[in-house]
Amino acid sequence: MAEATVYIVDDDAALGDSLRALFMAMGFDAHWFASGQALLEADLASGDACVLLDGISLLDRLRELHPRLPVVIMTGYADVPLAVRAMQIGAADVVEKPFQEGAALAAVRNALARGGGGGDSATGGIDGLATSAGLTPRERQVLDMIVRGQANKVIAADLGISQRTVEVHRAGVMRKTGTRSVAELVRRALGPEGGVRDPQRNPRRQ
């Protein structure tokens, strides 16, 4: 029996066929769709399944119709705002093109393991993540603002510090939380609550 079902949605036939072959070789039941509409019209499996979706335009509709179906977003423009938006809508992960095949495979397997609810119930949201990771007050501020989708230069201006300092704090947040991507960090920070409070600001504190 197949490990699970993977639905691949991408208008690039070569990439879609390559990913389908990869997942089939790894024991999945894989199907490729050239468009989101074709996926929406398909009879999707009721068991373990995951969608590997190009872009986020279909994500709202897909989450509405299949709220428990985990979705991994593929994009060539994986900036912070897009990753945050995808996580807030309910994506399980975001992988940036071009990617190694192993990255897509790992993202799908992790999404299947977590299920389609989005977020990580063990983190308790930003407060729980910040506490468990031992973030400093400044790192906590930076985490808040990252999850809001703000770029480093915007965070620097709001906090009255240099962009390089923001990058150092951001690296510290990623290291302490054990996250390897903004998408993973946002997913864990949003947690089951799915909300972000206003950051506590004190621009002159480092």
DSSP 123-182: T-HHHHHHHHHT--HHHHHHHHHHHTT--HHHHHHHHTS-HHHHHHHHHHHHHHHT--SH
What is the pLDDT of the chain when averaged over all its residues?
83
Highest mean pLDDT among 37-46, 77-86, 186-195: 37-46
Report the chain's terminal Cα–Cα distance, integer Å. Answer: 55
Residue 4 CB coordination number (10 Å): 20
Q: What is the pLDDT of residues 64-86, one digit of tens each?
A: 888 889 999 998 766 677 878 88
How confident is the model at residue 121, as a pLDDT?
40
Q: What is the pLDDT of residue 79?
A: 67
Give me the residue spans of the domains in the chain: 5-114, 125-190
17 vs 122 pLDDT, higher one? 17
Reply yes or no: is the peptide bond before residue 192 cis, omega within 30 of 0: no
Count Cα atoms within 13 angstroms, Cβ side, for 146. Answer: 25
Global confidence as pTM: 0.72
pLDDT at residue 117 tops 60: no
CATH topology of domain 5-114: Rossmann fold (3.40.50)
β-sheet with 71-75: strand ranges across:
29-33, 5-9, 49-54, 71-75, 93-96
Q: Which fold has domain 125-190?
A: Arc Repressor Mutant, subunit A (1.10.10)
